[in-house]
Amino acid sequence: MNLKLTVSHVCKSYDKKPILKDCSFLFEKSGTYILMGPNGSGKSTFFRICALLEDPDAGEVNYFSETNISKKDVELRRRITLLLPRVGVFNTTVFKNAAYGLKIRGMKGPEIREKVDKALEFVGMIHKTKQNALTLSSGEIQRLGIARAMVIEPEILFLDEPTASVDQENTEIIEDILLRMKKLGNSIVVIATHDRVQAERLADWLLLMKNGMIVSA
Q: What is the pLDDT of residue 3?
A: 65
β-sheet with 5-14: strand ranges across:
17-27, 5-14, 58-63
Tally of domains within the chain = 1
Q: What is the pLDDT of residue 73?
A: 63
pLDDT digit string (tens) for the chain, length 217 residues? 566 899 999 999 999 999 999 999 999 888 999 999 888 889 999 999 999 899 999 999 988 765 555 555 666 777 889 999 889 999 999 999 999 999 988 888 999 999 999 999 999 999 999 999 999 999 999 999 999 999 999 989 999 999 988 999 999 999 999 999 998 888 999 999 988 999 999 999 999 998 889 987 6
pTM to 2 decimal places: 0.91
- Per the structure, the complete domain to which residue 114 belongs is given by 5-216
CATH of the domain at 193: 3.40.50.300
Q: What is the pLDDT of residue 156?
A: 92
Three-state secondary structure call for residue 42: coil
